[in-house]
């Protein structure tokens, strides 16, 4: 593993030391964990964005969609715990 140098402000260094201590970790281990978590989040956001583009392209190509008010009504009912039929797509 290669070493990477980070120039951190004194304030950030103090925060990292404090947070690492509360997590029973060394500052180095804390930073590695945080960087790994943020890399995972960035990859997840990227996959989500790619999936959204594919879904949009599929919807535009098929010409079928849910009217927005119908979709919101369905989601609100489901969130309220109601049993509702899934709406049908319309051209």
How far, rounded to the nearest angstrom, does the alpha carbon of residue 45 sit from its chain's CA centroid? 5
Does a structural domain hold residue 87? no
Domain assignment present for 86: no
What pLDDT is attached to residue 16?
A: 98
Mean pLDDT per 10-residue interval, the chain, length 91 residues: 91 98 98 98 98 94 90 96 90 76
Domain annotation covers residue 25: yes
Q: Is residue 1 part of a domain?
A: no
DSSP 15-41: HHHHHHHHTT--HHHHHHHHHHHHHHH
Q: Is position 50 within any domain?
A: yes
* Residue 49 placed within a domain: yes
pTM over 0.75: no
Structural domain tally of the chain? 1
Residue 68 is assigned to a structural domain of this protein: no
Task: Give the integer Cα–Cα distance in Å for 52 and 71.
Answer: 17
The domain in which residue 18 lies consists of: 10-62
pLDDT value for 2: 87
Q: Is residue 32 part of a domain?
A: yes
């Amino acid at each position: 593993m290669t070493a990477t140098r980070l120039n951190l402000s004194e304030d950030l260094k103090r925060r990292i030391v404090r947070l690492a201590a509360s997590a029973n970790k060394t500052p180095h281990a804390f930073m590695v964990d945080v960087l790994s978590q943020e890399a995972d989040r960035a990859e997840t956001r990227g996959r989500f964005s790619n999936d959204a583009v594919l879904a949009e392209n599929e919807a535009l190509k098929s010409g079928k969609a849910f009217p927005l008010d119908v979709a919101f009504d369905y989601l609100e009912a489901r969130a309220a715990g109601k049993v509702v039929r899934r709406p049908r797509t319309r051209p």
